Structure 1
């Protein structure tokens, strides 16, 4: 029996434009199929039919739907950048405004497809590529937050490294949870409460 990691590895990495387009069609089709039918009923046959390719062609690229979902999650993580934060001087302005920028970007990065996001959270298996992507992405974000903590005059925390880890984990995890089921809490309420919580922590409010 193959290891779980090998089972999740794509079979073919495209080197030509046409092959890359086919791979993109498979991933796009899978996102639609999983969103429409759910994961259990989102079979590779349905994905191939939606992508308008043969099932044999699909299996040239991915060994199973678990590998397809793992690749979708890799891409979701790689797209998730704090776009507004990248354009701002994070040491300027009020601490609350800066925290709100970070929280709002995390929310915006998860708005596209709540059903697919929920499936990725609940069903995705962890390939080595996915683990590496999570580590790389998380490390970059923690570094960005630590940099802003070090430069902002209103930050009062005992340990910058630990604080940066806590903020990234708290914001990301809660944004994922909310946007996977946005009916649970109004987004505006969630944003305001999370901003208040993080801001108070960073200011050292008692």
Structure 2
């Protein structure tokens, strides 16, 4: 299944919605029947890719957040490290990320899981805002705003405009450096 998903990631990134299950099977070096054993259609493949992306990003963020809580670096470094990880998770395959963000079908259960993921990230950001005496009386709302602003930027600006990682890093540096 991992071989199929990797092939699908490559095909979706390159071909967008023109991608077909036949092209994915061909790229993976498996028969179309083998692909259909795991996925009934290309939407299911795209859906599995989106789930994998969220799962992998969540795992990496949990490790980072645990380290940041233990080390308590300055706010600027904390922000930089979180943003670097999130940018890195979206760095490659802009075509695939665009499709996953906009088109991957989601059930109510999956939307709830995404909400829980975003809530965990916002809670961590709020923790570091409070730890560094930033955010004032409305820290939770500010943290949630930051999470959603970064999400929108990654999925609607960086990915759509195929912004380079270096350009995004420059913008992050300006955001962190300005009072």
- What is the TM-score when the length of structure 1 is the normalising length? 0.72
Aligned residue among 173, 187, 194 for 2:168: 187
Whether 1:48 and 2:22 are equivalent positions in the alignment is no
Partner Cα distance (2:177, 2:152) in 1? 17
Residue of structure 1 in register with 2:130 after alignment:
150
Whether 1:112 and 2:103 are equivalent positions in the alignment is no
Aligned-residue RMSD, C-alpha: 2.6
* Cα deviation digits, residues 124-178 of structure 1 (max 9, x gap): 22234542431232122122122222322x3142222212211211222213334
User: Alpha carbons of 1:93 and 1:28: their partners in 2 closer, same or farther (altered >3 Å)?
Assistant: closer
Alignment of 1:20-31 (within 5 A): 23-31=1-9
Alignment of 1:100-179 (within 5 A): 100-128=80-108, 130-152=110-132, 154-179=133-158
Which range moved further: 116-125 or 71-80?
116-125
- What is the TM-score when the length of structure 2 is the normalising length? 0.81
Structure with the higher fraction of residues in helix conformation: 2
User: Alpha carbons of 1:178 and 1:37: their partners in 2 closer, same or farther (altered >3 Å)?
Assistant: same
Aligned residues: 174
Q: Counterpart of 2:68 in 1: which secondary structure?
A: coil
CA apart distance, 1:88: 2.0
CA apart distance, 1:115: 2.5
CA apart distance, 1:183: 4.8
Alignment of 1:54-73 (within 5 A): 54-73=31-50
Partner Cα distance (1:127, 1:24) in 2? 23
